[in-house]
Structure 1
Amino acid sequence: MTKEWAPSLAFRRFQGKQYELNRLYWTQVISHEALGQVLEMKDKATQTLNALNMDIPAMRHFHTVEETKQWAPEYLNRSRLHLLVICAANLESYLKEITFWHLYSNGYKSKNAKKLDAIGNAIGRPILSRSSLPEPLKYAQLLFHLDFGTNLTKWQRFYKLRCAAAHNGGMVTARTLKDIPDLTSPLHHPIGLSWKELKDALASAEHIAKAIDQKATDKRLRLNEVKHELDELKSIGNLPEKERLWEFIHQNYGLKGLKRREKVNIEAELY
């Protein structure tokens, strides 16, 4: 029988970030469509800022209505590439967070602080000490006994596109063409991303994170996460009143089913 999955705080945060990314994207799409509808009614040769009567310095956008209409779809393509950078950061952040709590909750922890011990650091190093995704994701398959399948293959390519955006401003270099041979953009031209590609990246990231979370998360891990969150709140003086603590925990973290002894210990540490 498959255990019932209660998501970690790390996964819930990951989903929240992805939701905000989606909101950002669809706001851009709405803006693009609205701009196109308005410009259809304007003289093609007029400066766009004049046609829209906008209080923006002319040097900020010195294109005609026709030029703006032609460029707008490319704007969306390039914006999607930049959103891929955020998606990669969200997945990388989740992977580091869940790896730490997985190891910590399995006993690889220092006695005097919320840190991993030497063995935990050694086990987690291929993920926790890397600012990347392809190799850490490969290692995560071993650590969590998973096979990401085509989602890993997709993210190996998506991460190369992410690097082109983050390190080259989204422009094609000779290195980019070597790393991504099927890229159609010519040398020194901007890279774009279709909605189909961005949607695929978002879905693949979700599948990977969910597979890890379903495998790694248990009551012990979630309890450690919540205790850490409460310690953080205590450090900045934002703990709820003791009488409201468990209501606060249920509402904000969804943690239930603790034994009385566990609750007493948490209260003793906080108040």
Structure 2
Amino acid sequence: MGKDIQNTNGSPEPEIPASGPTTVDTQGACEITGFSRQRLHTIRSDPSFNFPKPIKVGRSVRWFVSDLIAWLRTMTLDNAPQGASSVDKKVAIKADTRKQIELKQFRGLLWLTSTKAKAVPSVAELAAANQKVQAKKRQPGQHLQRRMVDTRDGAREWQYSVFPQVPGKGFVPVKVSPRKILVPSNIPEAERQQLLARATAMRTASGSPASPPVLATPKGDMKAQKTEVSLTEMKAAYEVEGKSLDDLCKRYRMGKGRVLKLLRDVGTEMRPSGRKSKPINL
């Protein structure tokens, strides 16, 4: 808690000065008691220690030396923890502060959440949950995905979910390019066919000269020569792949205003701004 204080007789109790000031400030109180300023403030704020009250002299706070010495003598060794220093034996500080109590509660909560067993659904509960997920409206770029899970009935069934939860965030489930259309196998067959048909139609439409070519600097080299950008590929990246405007700006090295204008010119179904906006049917 602090440094040990001994008088000329070798006693751990502070010696009352024969001649000197009768009152001391906070620094003097720390020297007499052996406490730091923080510990002195802690003891003063706890009424169970019955620490002597100071007096005010102008703007300063001062204690009577005799009151501090008398208070130290009243503290018994019974209240002190085992193995404490001589000054610690004079004043017993509570072991559990508020922060320590909150830390223990947090550790207990963390232990409960980490050891809690996951609920295994039944076939009926899983079917009802899948029906809700399939009926939920999705924004462009969001798709259904499925995975096999165990049930309480012993059978393994498909569990459906919407991915990604935030359009434009996370792994892109569908890849559309002029040569290939890649759809993962965990997407249900009905939606898989819809995505393939939509991506094929968009790729076919890109072959017709409907709009003048758009030039952009390829990603990775600012000094490289500008190349032609396929607006259909840009539209597919936004609608089917679920890319965000920021991703398209980085890919084609364009400003957000220009990318937004090009997408609207080719009839792209724009997503509403904000995560809590009204969803749009895919």
TM-score (norm 2): 0.22
Q: Whose helix proportion is higher, 1 or 2?
A: 1
Q: Whose strand proportion is higher, 1 or 2?
A: 2
Q: Which has the higher contact order (CA 8 A, sep 6+)?
A: 1
TM-score (norm 1): 0.23
